[in-house]
Structure 1
Amino acid sequence: MNLAEKIDKILANEVPFLEVAIYYLDFTVYFANLLFPLFLFLSVIWFTSKLANNTEIIAFLSSGVSYYRFLRPYMIGATIVCIGAFFLGMYLAPIASQGFNDFTYKHLKKGKKAYENTNVYRQLNENQYLYVGYFNVTEKTGTNFTLEEFDGPKMVNKISANRIQFNEADSTYTLFKYKERRVGEFGDELISEAKRDTIFDFDLDDLTPVKYIAETLNLNELNDFIAREKEKGSSYISRYEVVRYKRWSLPVSAYILTIIAVAVSSVKRRGGMGVNLAIGIAIGMVFIFFDKIFGTLAEQSDFSPFIATWAPNMVFAVLAIYLLRNAKR
């Protein structure tokens, strides 16, 4: 279905077949990582409903086996899936995310922004702060550039320019309408030039942070990246931390959804498997709704990313306990 929707753009951009094949491999891994708890949830409902419709569960429990013993194979299976999903999310999915997003913005979303290139504010280190009003990724040029240096609370140097241009040939920067203010003990020194070529310690990535950068980093890289971004005073810390905490919460959600799936589908219903699947799909959609709402809330406000990513698990854990107690009866 995805190929049918994208085939016109792929053909129009004359994308090589190998790139398309790699893209759909990345596409599969990327969405499998995002949706595996839902896939596991629905598969458990389908399998358990088949057992319930054949009255095999009633026979199993009537033989004197406890409901928790009946639940044990499901939890063992969920553990195996969660271990695989953990390594998938921490190490393999970031590689797939890089390829998926690169292909998307290169061939399918031409003209759309993959970069946070408007009002970029960065703390480069303890003393230096950078601001760019707008940075054009294609032309590697920015407007309203400012670089401020402090010694404690006191500003000691400020560089500003109407426009900044990155030169790939020698990794230098050209500043247009360059102005520099050096704050001295007995007076300030003002320097003004129409154009100046210079070298800065910061990287081009500091001027153009990528929206999906956190998704493309493995566990260790992501932890180091977030630590560096906190030092720089990045305004996207909440977004990055939501990505980090989700990598831990998603495997745990598989356990919770497995318990809910077994509790819902182990009861033989008049409507059969269709009723169980309908209930399961409804619960799954509510779970995804909660996950998206809390994730967006954390990214767009001061709401705690930790609470945002774990709140759906906590809410559904309570639901799982309630359903499990009713199912035992």
Structure 2
Amino acid sequence: MNIRLKKLDLLILRSFMGPFIVTFFIVLFTFTMQFFWLYMDELIGKGFGIFVTIKLMVYMSTTLVPIALPLGILLAAIMTFGGLGENFELVAIKSSGISLYRFMRPLTIFIAIISLSAFFFNNYVIPVTNLKAYSLLYDMRNQKPAMNIREGVFYNEIDNFSIRVGKKGKDGQTIKDIVIYDHSSGRGNDKIVLAKDGKMYPSKDKRSLIFELNDGWRYEEDNTEQKHAQTRMYFGKWYKVFDLSKFTFTRTKEDLFKGNNEMMNVGQLNRNIDSFTQRNQKSHEDIARYLTPYFSIFQKMPKDSLLAKRLTADKGKVYNYKKSFFSNVPDSMKSKMALTIENNVRNMERLVNIVAVESKIRDTSMNQFQIAWHKKFTLSFACMLLFLIGAPLGAIIRKGGLGMPVVIAIGFFIIYFIISSTGEKLAQQAAVAPWYGMWLATAILLPIAFVIMAAARNDSNIFNKEWYIRMWSFISKLFKKDKTEMINNK
């Protein structure tokens, strides 16, 4: 009996591994291509080499693993159990006295291991790849387009210059009918170069573009001090060097991106959350420290001063004044005192607003860090959740392949994604607590998973096409029977 069960466990694991690997990499490739379609307009035409492009693709595909993994598991689970049901293997297993839960046990253990591994991957690998991916993407998006001087079109990508080439030779270097406008002085087109022909080629270090011009004229205008003088110079050969250092691909230091919550693991997120919490607790101390100078009663004073003696002597006493303090002030001092009070109140209001704004900024940042902290766990738990939905669904559907299983899997994943995204948005807007928003999808779908598992155990026909066909035939016969009786009664 034990040998038969071990073979059964091996059967279900082998049946699952093939669809899981295929669907996971298909989903990961789809999400990666979706990313490139999103940023294609900003990356094309900037002269990036194949190595940089592949590097970005590898980094981004790694960051998308936590999203692709749950969908891959859901698809593979539905396809595996649907295929076993379609081939009546599930019926044979149940008829031998083995329950569905026992049949799911090896895969449940396997998915639990994947979920645990996904957490460590999400905690230690994803922050590093996020740092490298988004820093590289930032540099690529801010890179200037590659040099592309076309015939008959003014090229303005080089700062302070506008260049037009009438014709270009097949070698890409020979040029004719050249016009160069120089705006470097800041006074418009006060320098113009015209040439009949020449060559353009990059320097050896690729940091400069050299124009070797022949048989041309240089025009320069001097508009300073109202001279309005123009100088015209003929040249047989003249070299113009353009700086291309801004067109070279440079990398920004990755340390500038390390403060983002997506580049941190659980330990780093905890430290940042604790620092924000402690800083918020000290906000009331900041207010007291800012406002104390405006209240003389709170200021330190010599013990032998008259005010200190009166305050000590009158401690605990309550006085009822018939007139306000302001009415006792001499008329000559009232204007000055009112102005002083108004200025002090405005200063105190400004200081309190500063503390309030700083506290609000810290609350927003802490909210983002708490969302990132919960996301480390929810994405891993989603693997187990979607497996618990997909496996019994496949047993109910009893269809393998890429037809009905794919449709249902995508439908459930869209539901999960919408609920999860909605909860995250609500948490980001501080409409709900971070833990509530991030675990909302799990709280809604987990009971549904248990209901589907119970339905699969009882051989429910809710997703069985033949069951709906039989029900439709039965209802149609009832309507036909009632219609026949009505005609006979007439």
Measured against the shorter chain, the TM-score band is 0.5 to 0.7
Among 77, 82, 91, which residue is 2:110 paired with?
77
1:3 & 1:303 partners in 2: Cα distance? 33
Considering fraction of residues, name the structure with more strand. 1
Report the residue type matching 1:266 in the other structure.
Answer: A
For the pair shown, the structure with the greater C-alpha radius of gyration is 2
Match of 2:426 in 1: 297
2:46 & 2:128 partners in 1: Cα distance? 24
Match of 1:22 in 2: 55
Q: Does 1:280 align with 2:327?
A: no
Q: Which runs of 5+ in 1 are unaligned?
A: 112-208
Q: 1:116-151 deviations in whole A, cap 9, x for unaligned?
A: xxxxxxxxxxxxxxxxxxxxxxxxxxxxxxxxxxxx
Q: Does 1:223 align with 2:352?
A: no
Q: Does 1:34 align with 2:67?
A: yes
Q: What's the offset of the Cα at 1:259?
A: 1.0
Q: 1:60-91 deviations in whole A, cap 9, x for unaligned?
A: 11110012101102201211211220111000
SS of the residue corresponding to residue 64 of structure 1 reads: coil
Aligned length: 232
Match of 2:135 in 1: 102
Q: 1:224-260 deviations in whole A, cap 9, x for unaligned?
A: 1222233444122212211110101221121111111
SS of the residue corresponding to residue 432 of structure 2 reads: coil
TM-score relative to the length of structure 1: 0.64
Q: What's the offset of the Cα at 1:213?
A: 0.6
Q: 1:250-297 deviations in whole A, cap 9, x for unaligned?
A: 211211111110111112457976223212211110000000000010
For the 8 Å contact 1:260–1:323, the answer to whether it is kept is: yes
Report the residue type matching 1:26 in the other structure.
Answer: Y
1:325 & 1:87 partners in 2: Cα distance? 32
Flag the 1:272–1:7 CA change in 2: closer, same or farther, 3 A. closer
For the 8 Å contact 1:50–1:273, the answer to whether it is kept is: no
Report the residue type matching 1:23 in the other structure.
Answer: L
Flag the 1:271–1:39 CA change in 2: closer, same or farther, 3 A. closer
Q: Does 1:66 align with 2:99?
A: yes
For the 8 Å contact 1:53–1:272, the answer to whether it is kept is: no
1:278 & 1:97 partners in 2: Cα distance? 31
TM-score relative to the length of structure 2: 0.44
After TM superposition, the structure 1 = structure 2 runs for residues 178-257 of structure 1, keeping only pairs within 5 Å, are 213-232=260-279, 233=359, 234=362, 235-257=364-386
Q: What's the offset of the Cα at 1:97?
A: 0.9
Q: CA RMSD in A?
A: 2.6
Q: Which runs of 5+ in 2 are unaligned?
A: 1-32, 145-255, 280-358, 459-490
